[in-house]
Structure 1
Amino acid sequence: MTDTNTDAVEAPGRFIAERFARLQWEDLPDTVRRTTRLFLLDTLGVIAGAARAPGMHELLATLEDFEPPGQATVLLSDTPRSPTVAALANGAAAHALDFDDQHDPARVHAFCVVLPAALAAADARGELDGKRFVTALACGVELFCRLGLTCHNSLGKGWHPTTALGSLAAALTAGMIFDLDGERMTHALGLAYTQMSGTTQFIADGALAKRMGPGFAARNGVLAAQLARAGITGPHRYLEGKAGLFNLHERGEVTPEILTEGIGSHWHILDLSMKPYPCCRCVHSTIQLGLALHREGLRPEQVAGARILLGEVNAGIVGADFDIGHANPVVHAQFNAAYGLATALADGRVDIASYTPSRIRDERSRLAGRFHTEISAEIPATAIAPARIELDLADGTSLVRETLTMKGAPDDPMSEEEVLDKFFACMKWGFDTPREVAQPLAERLLGIEALPDIRPLIAEFSRMGRA
């Protein structure tokens, strides 16, 4: 099939599979290569930080009971498992702290799905050089971002885009590592769509299932690519068909040209945001405002109450009243704007320690009970960055603060030094690895394209956790 506008419009599923399957290391701009390396480093750091996260011990223990040893590395365990199970476990770990990247306009967490799929596929394939690894990561993330932008109100419908759309991105990533041609890549994406699922109900209910979503997506994608590799066929109209993604899941509310235009020349991966705080991105602007007020000298005892004003989608995700006795405190706090603001004001910092059960149930958190979140008619419904807080002070006066930007986004990016600081902090928190020990690992990860086989370096990372 040739690359024509007709192909893109009439058969977008086949079109994107064939276009991405042909991309090589030489097609990646230097900016894309650098971005991919930095987010690889960031995601591995976040996985290290998750070693003590609620739910991870239980997940790994379940695998111990139910899954026989295999050939694929589980980064937080000393026992390898099958590629699909390793992808599930590593994906859950990458999202366990809600500290992983996000494409803010697309509303997807990308590397927590794509990296575990790539690592599992690499173990299934065997030797894999760094250039092919980085290329597969970059292309998988690029498709993921394009899917999120195309299905621009997926979250508003109740889908969790990271889980749902992630199956397709993971299939592309694994398919590139398996060197699938355009035809088999189409089947891989179709098979991934056949397994697609994902709901925001786990957010509403504060369930640990939230962190499993990326793991499910990574597992689905690896399985889909392996099945296609073996000759199993999937629906080729997985996007445009009557029961395809666009019509069935998105109800026709899509912008298909975003998905197909400029593949290989325009890179949405460059618009990824890196998280400075380990919680839902919808809370970050509120946290920033709270930290700024703390730096100005405002303290909790001076605050009688507050209104947090967000866009409709953000408010729907993080706007519930804070419940200090919630049965699942970590997930509840990660998705609660009132808690984020209260913690920022009380502590002057928000980090992994802020989202531990003991801190969430600390007496200081009762401040969050005096804060309430509302929908602002002045903020676009799907806008993620804007936030406004209106504080009533104990002395009868009031304060108003607002922001239109978020730290870590392309218009206010984290510096490489800040990225490294986050990586080393995560390594220390989860692995108890000192900075001086983690430094050589970070340097090798940032030069991973030079390696003839990436697997020994990944194994070295995993051994640090077991040490």
Structure 2
Amino acid sequence: MNSPLAQTPSIGRTLAQDIARLTYADLPADVVKITKLFTLDTLGVIGGAARAPGMAELTTALSAWEEDGKATLLLTGRKANPVTAALANGAAGHSLDFDDQHDPARVHVFCVVLPAVLAAMEAKGKPTSGRDFITAVTIGVELFCRLGLACYNSLGKGWHPTTALGSISAAAAVAKIFGLNAEQTLNAMGLAFVQLSGTTQFIADGALAKRVGPGFAARSGVLAAHLAGNGITGPWRFLEGEAGLFKLYERGEVKTEIVSDGWGTKWEVRDLSMKPYPCCRCMHTTIQLALDLKGQGVTADDIVEGTIELSEVNRKIVGAPFNQGHTNPVVHAQFNAAYGFAAALTDGKVEIGTFTPERIRAADVSFATKFTTVAATDMDETALAPARVRVRLKDGRELTVERWAVKGAPDDAMTEAEVFEKFRSCLAWGFGAKGPAVGALERDVMGVETMTDARDLVAGFLACRNTAPVS
């Protein structure tokens, strides 16, 4: 029996009560539409990951310890322990760095929440309606966005907020799938906090661990909710306690009111961005500037040197000098503004194939080494969208281009046609999938609220695997 102290109000307890009360009927129509579109996008990105570096090794390593289980490894079709499936599928969702982001919060949300929810539905062993699926995903995503906004400089401290904050958010979503009450939901989030981890060191070192981080968060969320549903308690002051998230991890640099104010009426999911390019969001505006210069007739051969100006946080993440001989070229290039600029200027586009070792090491993008990245004095330290590029040309001209908005964000959103094209191209890249199965999955996702069993989404995804590049 819980002690009276354990019933004392806390931010987490209030949040858990709000989560437990929220139903599909509380979701505005546009929020439901957003959840469906980003679910579609994430399933496409997961499929595209079938050929991504590290994914075959990861699924092989995880499968070595699994005979059978209740949940599906989406890249192979094998069954595994639900926590293992959440880990593998979460890593796949992030492996191309093509997954969504809440730009102000600097968190990738669906690559954690969706794999956790899919694994939980299969683990439950009985149907979950499409409406309950949407509700659970939306809750996890909304909480994730709010935590990222509240912990507004987590990335600047060296945390990878997608990995760190994702565990708590995934736990909340899975708690909804499992039908946990408010107190159990509180325990689930507290137990997820106990497992919290995440560091940007894997970015600095160009390590494949970068893509596994969201998988760790999805795994932790599923495990936390499962334990909470079976009577294990977690710290109820996991947010504001002396050793809680806000003080221990964020050093008091937190806007606490964002976590729960307006819950159920104000929706941060409306500010989600979808990625048009498969690389770190911090360099997307730089890519657009390269395309702008290409439109002006500038070519690689014209450039003597250049400077990329970003916010200080963006500079820390993607501002390293381009190293064409890097031992981990893919991750290095996905987090290198100079390379993104060079590839876009050379090819006139940036796509999944841009980030393969062969493309990264090609001679025609070596001019990326001529660029220096600096912090702009007129950009807010944590600003994501703005970027400026200055180039000096062989004919003596100096050109400057800048943008203060980034494509894919709500103020320059991808069209639905672009979303569907991205989904189809990802499945074609990863599986060679095309035709009726892809169309059927599109229709299932966009009509998921009518499904009696949302586990059918997993079957629809597997039907798109008309090749098997990952074993």
TM, length-normalised to structure 2: 0.96
Equivalent pair of 2:437/2:460 in contact (CA under 8 Å): no
After superposition, residues 275-354 of structure 1 pair within 5 angstroms as 275-354=275-354
What is aligned with 2:5?
Answer: none
What is aligned with 2:109?
Answer: 110
**Post-superposition shift, 1:390?**
0.2
What is aligned with 2:57?
Answer: 58
Superposed CA deviations along residues 197-245 of structure 1, whole A, max 9, x for unmatched, are 0000000000000000000000000000000000110110100111000
Separation in 2 of the partners of 1:79 and 1:136?
25
**Post-superposition shift, 1:444?**
1.6
After superposition, residues 2-401 of structure 1 pair within 5 angstroms as 11-126=10-125, 127-401=127-401
Extract structure 1 runs of 4+ deviating beyond 3 A: none
**Post-superposition shift, 1:17?**
1.0
Which amino acid is 1:123 matched to? E
Identity of matched residues, % = 57
Superposed CA deviations along residues 79-98 of structure 1, whole A, max 9, x for unmatched, are 11000000000000000000
Superposed CA deviations along residues 376-398 of structure 1, whole A, max 9, x for unmatched, are 11111000000000001111111
Equivalent pair of 1:71/1:83 in contact (CA under 8 Å): yes
Equivalent pair of 2:52/2:95 in contact (CA under 8 Å): yes
Separation in 2 of the partners of 1:213 and 1:380?
27
**Post-superposition shift, 1:437?**
4.3
| Partner SS state of residue 18, structure 1 | helix
Equivalent pair of 1:424/1:435 in contact (CA under 8 Å): no
| Partner SS state of residue 159, structure 1 | coil
Equivalent pair of 2:109/2:145 in contact (CA under 8 Å): yes
Separation in 1 of the partners of 2:441 and 2:463?
12
**Post-superposition shift, 1:463?**
3.2
| Partner SS state of residue 66, structure 1 | coil
**Post-superposition shift, 1:364?**
1.4
| Partner SS state of residue 465, structure 1 | coil
| Partner SS state of residue 289, structure 2 | helix
**Post-superposition shift, 1:445?**
1.1
Separation in 2 of the partners of 1:425 and 1:182?
41
Separation in 1 of the partners of 2:292 and 2:157?
34
- Alignment CA distance shift 1:458-1:112 (3 Å): same
**Post-superposition shift, 1:456?**
2.2
What is aligned with 2:429?
Answer: 429
Equivalent pair of 1:188/1:227 in contact (CA under 8 Å): yes
Separation in 1 of the partners of 2:386 and 2:438?
36
Equivalent pair of 1:428/1:435 in contact (CA under 8 Å): no
Runs of 5+ unmatched residues, structure 1: 1-8
- Alignment CA distance shift 1:435-1:396 (3 Å): farther
Separation in 1 of the partners of 2:226 and 2:434?
38
- Alignment CA distance shift 1:237-1:364 (3 Å): same
**Post-superposition shift, 1:295?**
2.3
Separation in 1 of the partners of 2:207 and 2:245?
26
**Post-superposition shift, 1:426?**
0.5
Superposed CA deviations along residues 381-424 of structure 1, whole A, max 9, x for unmatched, are 00000000000111111110000000000111001011001001
Which amino acid is 2:66 matched to? E
**Post-superposition shift, 1:10?**
5.8
Separation in 2 of the partners of 1:450 and 1:296?
49
Equivalent pair of 2:63/2:80 in contact (CA under 8 Å): no
Which amino acid is 2:464 matched to? M
| Partner SS state of residue 422, structure 1 | helix
Superposed CA deviations along residues 235-286 of structure 1, whole A, max 9, x for unmatched, are 1010011100011001111001111100000000010000000000000000
Separation in 1 of the partners of 2:259 and 2:46?
29
Which amino acid is 1:301 matched to? D
